[in-house]
């Protein structure tokens, strides 16, 4: 800063970390990772149990309320978890301000699109339309 | 700031001797990134199930091809490895398991566990396919 300023050097940089935020992502990543231990096991067991089944049988299983609720929890948790994770990767490796912003925006769009598409599909199967 | 010039950077990967703990750290990030794009498969699979028998059959056909199987096998390992790696990180978050012997043991356990569990899951899956066929 060439111009005179009354703000201290610390005041200039406070809140300007690579993520523009504090420890919220760190905490949310732990929160989602704890939730994903049982949810991932559920997901793997579900997929294995669906091996070889035809569409009618798969839809019947996926559409039952408890399975659908757990799948929604799984999908929403992984998409949030992966947005934070990929943001961390981008912040580590994208050094230009412009490329970083473009990638962060693409990351958010991708995760929201995947989350919404999967959630919509689960709800559609479950509501049986 | 008086002037802008290239700042000194801390040494990067190529300067360190490869170690198992370091490889597990890289593997954790790599599997995370792979799982990120693997969610396309989950979304495709669910959307196909919601769209009808023909779309679902297309997914099942692709998953049964060699490439599909390889992707699924890689996805299974990545998911299990990332989960076990995540558990390792959660243990570290409590301040435990950071000693030289402990972190080496944890790294070996993560790798051994992920490979073993993946193979066990696939044997179970292939037995279901071989035994049950289309139900």
The pLDDT score that the predictor gives to residue A23 is 81
Residue B1 above 80 pLDDT? no
Whether A128 contacts chain B with CB within 8 A: no
Question: How far lies B5's CA from each of A11, A125, B102, in Å?
Answer: 22, 57, 42
Rounded Cα–Cα distance for residues B35 and B43 (Å): 12
> What band does B125 get if pLDDT is binned at 50, 70 and 90?
confident
Query: Chain B contact for A105, CB < 8 A?
Result: no
Identify which has the larger pLDDT, B4 or B50: B50
Rounded Cα distance between B74 and B31, Å, is: 9
In this structure, which topology does domain B20-132 adopt according to CATH?
3 helical TM bundles of succinate and fumarate reductases (1.20.1300)
Label residue B135 by pLDDT band (50, 70, 90): very low
The pLDDT, as a whole number, for residue A15 is 67
**Per-residue CA distances from B41 to B26, B47, B75 (Å):** 23, 10, 10
Better-predicted residue by pLDDT, B12 or B19: B19
Dump pLDDT digits (tens) for B57-89.
Answer: 999 999 999 999 999 999 999 999 999 999 999
A121 and B46 within 8 Å at the Cβ level: the answer is yes
Task: Identify the residue among B43, B114, B127 best suited for mutation to test binding to A, counting A beta carbons within 10 A and taking the highest.
Answer: B43
Cross-chain CB nearest to B79 (options A44, A85, A122): A44
CB contact under 8 A, B36 and A125: no
pLDDT at B114: 96
Mutate to test the interface with A, among B37, B49, B63, B64 (most CBs of A within 10 A): B49
Residues of B whose CB is below 8 A from A44: 76, 79-80, 121
CB contact A58 to B (< 8 Å): yes
What percent of chain A has a predicted confidence (pLDDT) above 70? 91
pLDDT-derived band at B49, boundaries 50, 70, 90: very high
* Residues of chain A scoring pLDDT < 70: 1-3, 15-22, 129
Q: Which domains does chain A have, with CATH numbers?
A: 25-127 (1.20.1300.10)
Q: What is the mean pLDDT of residues B8-28?
A: 84
Instruction: Report residue B131's pLDDT band, with 50, 70 and 90 as the boundaries.
Output: low
* Smallest CA–CA distance from B89 into chain A, residue: A30
Q: Hey, are the CB atoms on A125 and B46 less than 8 Å from each other?
A: yes
> In whole numbers, what is the pLDDT of chain B averaged over residues?
89
């Amino acid at each position: 800063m060439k111009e005179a300023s009354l703000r201290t050097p610390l005041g200039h940089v406070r809140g300007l970390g690579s993520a523009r935020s504090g420890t919220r992502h760190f905490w949310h990543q732990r929160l989602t990772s704890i939730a994903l231990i049982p949810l991932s096991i559920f997901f793997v067991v579900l997929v294995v149990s669906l091996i070889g089944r035809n569409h009618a049988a798969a839809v019947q299983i996926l559409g039952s309320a408890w399975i659908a609720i757990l799948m929604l929890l799984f999908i929403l948790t992984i998409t949030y978890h992966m947005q934070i994770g990929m943001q961390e990767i981008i912040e580590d490796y994208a050094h230009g301000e412009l490329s970083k912003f473009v990638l962060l925006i693409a990351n958010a769009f991708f995760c929201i699109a995947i989350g919404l598409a999967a959630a919509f599909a689960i709800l559609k199967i479950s509501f049986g339309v | 700031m008086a002037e802008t010039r290239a700042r000194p950077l801390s040494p990067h990967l190529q300067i360190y001797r490869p170690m198992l703990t370091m490889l597990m750290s890289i593997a954790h990030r790599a599997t995370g990134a792979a799982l990120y794009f693997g969610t396309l498969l989950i979304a495709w699979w669910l959307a196909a199930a919601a769209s009808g028998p023909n779309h679902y059959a297309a997914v099942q056909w692709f998953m049964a091809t060699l490439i599909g199987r390889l992707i699924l096998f890689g996805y299974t390992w990545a998911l299990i490895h990332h989960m076990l790696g995540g558990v390792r990180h959660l243990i570290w978050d409590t301040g435990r398991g950071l000693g030289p012997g402990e972190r080496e043991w944890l790294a070996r356990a993560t790798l051994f566990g992920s490979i073993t569990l993946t193979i066990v899951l696939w044997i179970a899956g292939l037995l279901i396919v071989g035994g049950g066929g289309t139900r």
